[in-house]
Amino acid sequence: MPYLERLGVHDLRLVVFSLVIGVLAATGAVAFRFLIELFTELFWPGEGHLVARAMEAPWWLIVLLPTAAGLAVGPVITFYAPEVRGPGVSEVIKAVAHGKSAMRRRVTPVKALVTSLLLGAGASVGREGPIIQIGAAAGSTLASWLRLDSERKRVCLACGAAAGIAATFNAPLAGALFAVEVILLDIRAAFIANIIVSAISASLFSRLFLGDFPTMDLTHFAISSYWEMLIYLALGVLAGITAIVFLKALDYSDRLFSRIPIPEWTKPGLGGLCLGVMGLFLPQVLGVGYDTVNLAVADKLVLSMAVMVLAGKIAATSLCIGSGMSGGVFAPSLVIGSSLGAAVGILAGTFFPELGVVPGHYALAGMGAVVAGSTLAPITAVLTIFELTHSYKIMLPLMLGCISSAAIVRTLFGYSVYEMRLIRQGVDVVRGRDMDVLRDMEVSQVMSRDVPTLSEGAALSEIIQKVLETDYPHFVVVNRAGELAGVLSARDLAPCLGYAADLEGVVLARDIMIRSVITVTEGADMAGALEMMEEHHVGSLPVMSTTSPKRVVGRLKKDDVLHTYTERLNKSRLLSCRGVGKKQTEHGIRRT
């Protein structure tokens, strides 16, 4: 139906699906937040936010609740749905890259119940990662029901992830950019519109329940002096270093708990016990932590408390994630960033009183900078803070802090929190930026010029003899002019083997060859050639001459492409990461 395709009817159907996914993801996000509030009300006595309740609670309850919640969810995570362990975003990325964009349907209810129970009990994790995974699972489920192809399944999954962020922060732009910048490995520009539609529909639907107003009021934000930009730059550098400390703490905690000789299902309980003990001395580390963020932005966080929350939140979140609890790292990054920014702002105001520094403004910039460093998604971080405040004036210092933070982490560490978790699993994902390694290479640089050929008039005995003499599974069939006529494989020959004597002189190569052949030109880029192999499920392609399009000049094997990619990427990482890439080259590079 080429006429309907030219009218865009197929894409229009995908737009409708994106709209539905946005509503489903927003429904899941609203229900998830309701569950968190419900469990908080059930578990903690008193009124107000969780930290205020914890300050009034008896000591035994502070220790008991996280421990009991960890023991309750441990068996579920270990034996029933292991993919709900941790932030969840890594699992979404892995599903896009290696799982044909398929996520089990049980993920949505289990992730919502397990994480809301933990957060209600005071676990120091975020709610954004789980909401992203819930939204992605909704998109994956809908795509499976509708039997969409693999590329559109990826789009639906990304739509769900974008909708999750959009519904959580009332930030459709940040949601769409998060899906493109973090979740997807590579995408056609035409599909970005679907992600935006999903993010918008999720944001609009969530406003019906959560309201339509900026999360933080920044009507009086202003830069009193352009010398402040140097302080924001320094904040970005410190945020990058802090993000690296946070990432290393998460990795160390993960390794530490993996070595503890106790049953796997009891480890979340142990993490909860450690968290409860910390909560006795610093209750601000319990829960999501947005109450602390509000204090920092409102200039109500003193220097000593900012430093304690900064260190305590890193330790508490590392304990929870490392022990195997379900929860995200986005919100903890915001808390860590707000505490760092408030501390820098207070110190800057002390040493440079003439600048009229407002610590709350630095808290906001610190939030974005630490998120940018931990996720290596600076554009998403900038837009998230912008949409939380609806203030354009914050953009310049925010961009400076976020870009400098991401640059520090990329240079000194090399990986985001999501990539780090995938590498621990032995999975190194081909990111869109890494595909440039292949885009900069032509097929002629990798192809083999040793091409096994057959003439289209070759008899059956000649074909069998060639198959026996070579290790090649495919033969290029050429006509008398030496031009491509088709491709013949051992599989095409198999039906004739039992009747070889009778068919000799009757069946020729032209009779059993495949005439519809997928080819690539020698001047094409390697990324496009690899995508073509993936799309058509072939292991090699005939390479055609650029000047004579019907003449075969070589063959391109998928194994050779991946081998070349691995070598080039590892070399690039060794040079750019100053030794960090060397440590990780032992992990195989895999591709969808």
Q: Is 70 exceeded by the pLDDT of residue 10?
A: no
Over residues 356-377, the mean pLDDT reads: 92
Q: How confident is the model at residue 578 (pLDDT cuts 50, 70, 90)?
A: very low
Higher confidence at residue 465 or residue 31? 31
The rounded distance, in Å, linking the Cα atoms of 173 and 576 is 31
Query: Where on the phi/psi map is residue 376: left (φ > 0), alpha (ψ -120 to 50), or beta?
Result: left
- CB–CB of 199/131 below 8 Å? no
pLDDT of residue 317: 95
Question: How much is the pTM?
Answer: 0.71
Q: Which of 166-175, 224-233, 457-466, 478-487 has the lowest mean pLDDT?
A: 457-466
Residue 494 is which amino acid? A
Q: Which of 247-256, 355-364, 528-537 has the lowest mean pLDDT?
A: 528-537
- Cα→Cα distances 248→308, 414, 562, Å: 19, 12, 30
- CB–CB of 335/394 below 8 Å? no
Over residues 514-521, the mean pLDDT reads: 85
Q: Is 90 exceeded by the pLDDT of residue 581?
A: no
- Cα→Cα distances 492→273, 428, 468, 504, 514, Å: 64, 36, 15, 16, 8
* Three-state DSSP state, 378: helix
First CA to last CA distance, the chain: 29
Over residues 408-414, the mean pLDDT reads: 91
**8-state DSSP, 459:** B
Q: How confident is the model at residue 3 (pLDDT cuts 50, 70, 90)?
A: very low
One DSSP character per residue, 143-174 reads HHHTT--HHHHHHHHHHHHHHHHHHHHT-HHH
pLDDT of residue 439: 63
Over residues 380-390, the mean pLDDT reads: 85
- CB–CB of 206/29 below 8 Å? yes
Angle between helices 395-412 and 228-259 (to 10 degrees): 40
Question: How do residues 270-314 score in pLDDT, each as one tens digit?
Answer: 999 999 999 999 999 998 888 899 899 888 899 999 999 999 999
The rounded distance, in Å, linking the Cα atoms of 528 and 89 is 27
Over residues 558-568, the mean pLDDT reads: 79
Q: How confident is the model at residue 497 (pLDDT cuts 50, 70, 90)?
A: low
One DSSP character per residue, 232-274 reads HHHHHHHHHHHHHHHHHHHHHHHHHHHHS-S-GGGHHHHHHHH
Over residues 428-451, the mean pLDDT reads: 68
Q: Which of 11-15, 55-59, 110-114 has the lowest mean pLDDT?
A: 11-15
Helix (H) / strand (E) containing 435: none
Q: Is 80 exceeded by the pLDDT of residue 235?
A: yes
- CB–CB of 375/246 below 8 Å? no
Q: How confident is the model at residue 402 (pLDDT cuts 50, 70, 90)?
A: very high
pLDDT of residue 63: 94
Q: Is 50 exceeded by the pLDDT of residue 250?
A: yes
Over residues 412-432, the mean pLDDT reads: 72
Higher confidence at residue 538 or residue 478? 478
Average pLDDT, the chain: 82
Over residues 302-327, the mean pLDDT reads: 94
- Cα→Cα distances 349→228, 299, 353, 475, 548, Å: 11, 12, 5, 75, 71
Question: How do residues 172-226 score in pLDDT, each as one tens digit?
Answer: 888 888 888 787 755 555 678 888 889 999 988 888 887 765 555 554 667 777 8
* Three-state DSSP state, 92: helix
The rounded distance, in Å, linking the Cα atoms of 229 and 252 is 34
Task: Report the b/e string of 227-254 with b at 16+ CB within 10 A.
Answer: ebeebbeebbbbbbbbbbbbbebbbebb
Q: How confident is the model at residue 433 (pLDDT cuts 50, 70, 90)?
A: very low
The rounded distance, in Å, linking the Cα atoms of 384 and 591 is 30
Higher confidence at residue 513 or residue 201? 201
pLDDT of residue 1: 45
pLDDT of residue 575: 46
Q: Is 90 exceeded by the pLDDT of residue 154?
A: no
Q: Is 80 exceeded by the pLDDT of residue 257?
A: yes
Residue 485 is which amino acid? A
Q: Which two tokens stand for residue 204?
A: 């609009």
* Three-state DSSP state, 586: coil
Q: Is 50 exceeded by the pLDDT of residue 587?
A: no
Q: How confident is the model at residue 461 (pLDDT cuts 50, 70, 90)?
A: confident
Q: How confident is the model at residue 134 (pLDDT cuts 50, 70, 90)?
A: confident
The rounded distance, in Å, linking the Cα atoms of 484 and 322 is 57
* Three-state DSSP state, 583: helix
Q: Is 80 exceeded by the pLDDT of residue 151?
A: no
pLDDT of residue 580: 37
pLDDT of residue 574: 53
Over residues 255-268, the mean pLDDT reads: 92
pLDDT of residue 245: 96
pLDDT of residue 8: 42
pLDDT of residue 4: 39
- Cα→Cα distances 288→67, 200, 328, Å: 17, 25, 9
Q: Is 70 exceeded by the pLDDT of residue 349?
A: yes
Residue 190 is which amino acid? A
**Length, in residues, of the chain:** 592
Higher confidence at residue 158 or residue 528? 158
**8-state DSSP, 478:** E
Over residues 243-257, the mean pLDDT reads: 94
Q: Is 70 exceeded by the pLDDT of residue 116?
A: yes
* Three-state DSSP state, 570: helix
Residues contacting 318, CB < 8 A, separation 6+:
246, 249, 250, 252, 253
What percentage of residues in the chain have a pLDDT greater than 70?
Answer: 85
Q: In what order do the strands lie in the sheet with 453-455?
A: 453-455, 474-478, 484-489
Beta bridge partners of 448: 555
Q: Measured at the alpha carbon of residue 225, what is the angle toward residues 221 and 227, in degrees to the nearest 5?
A: 120
Q: Which two tokens stand for residue 491?
A: 């599989």
